[in-house]
Amino acid sequence: MHQQAGEFVAVLLHSATATHLMHLSTKSYAEHVALGAYYDAIVDLVDKWAEAYQGKFSVIPLTAYPSGFAVQKDCVNYAETLLKFVKGARKQLPDDSDLQNIVDEIVSEISSLLYKCKTFK
Residue 53 · residue 5 · CB < 8 Å: yes
DSSP 61: P
Report the chain's mean pLDDT, rounded to a whole number. Answer: 91
Residue 69 · residue 9 · CB < 8 Å: no
* pLDDT (0 to 100) of residue 70: 63
Query: How far is the C-alpha of 36 from the C-alpha of 12, rounded, in Å?
Result: 15
* pLDDT (0 to 100) of residue 56: 94
* pLDDT (0 to 100) of residue 1: 87
Confidence of residue 109 (pLDDT cuts 50, 70, 90): very high
The 10s digit of each residue's pLDDT in 86-97 is 999 999 998 999
Question: Is there a single domain that holds both residue 108 and residue 118?
Answer: yes
Query: Could you tell me the residue range of the domain that residue 34 belongs to?
Result: 1-71
Question: Is there a single domain that holds both residue 56 and residue 90?
Answer: no
Question: Is there a single domain that holds both residue 29 and residue 47?
Answer: yes
The 10s digit of each residue's pLDDT in 18-63 is 999 999 999 989 999 999 999 999 999 999 999 999 999 999 998 8
Question: Is there a single domain that holds both residue 55 and residue 93?
Answer: no
* pLDDT (0 to 100) of residue 71: 65
Question: Is there a single domain that holds both residue 60 and residue 82?
Answer: no
Indicate whether 69 pLDDT > 80. no
Question: Is there a single domain that holds both residue 60 and residue 17?
Answer: yes
pTM of structure: 0.77
Structural domain total, the chain: 2
Question: Is there a single domain that holds both residue 66 and residue 92?
Answer: no
Provide the residue count of the chain: 121
Question: Is there a single domain that holds both residue 58 and residue 90?
Answer: no
Helix (H) or strand (E) holding 93: none
Indicate whether 121 pLDDT > 80. no
- State the greatest distance between any 2 C-alpha atoms of the chain, in Å, as a whole number: 50
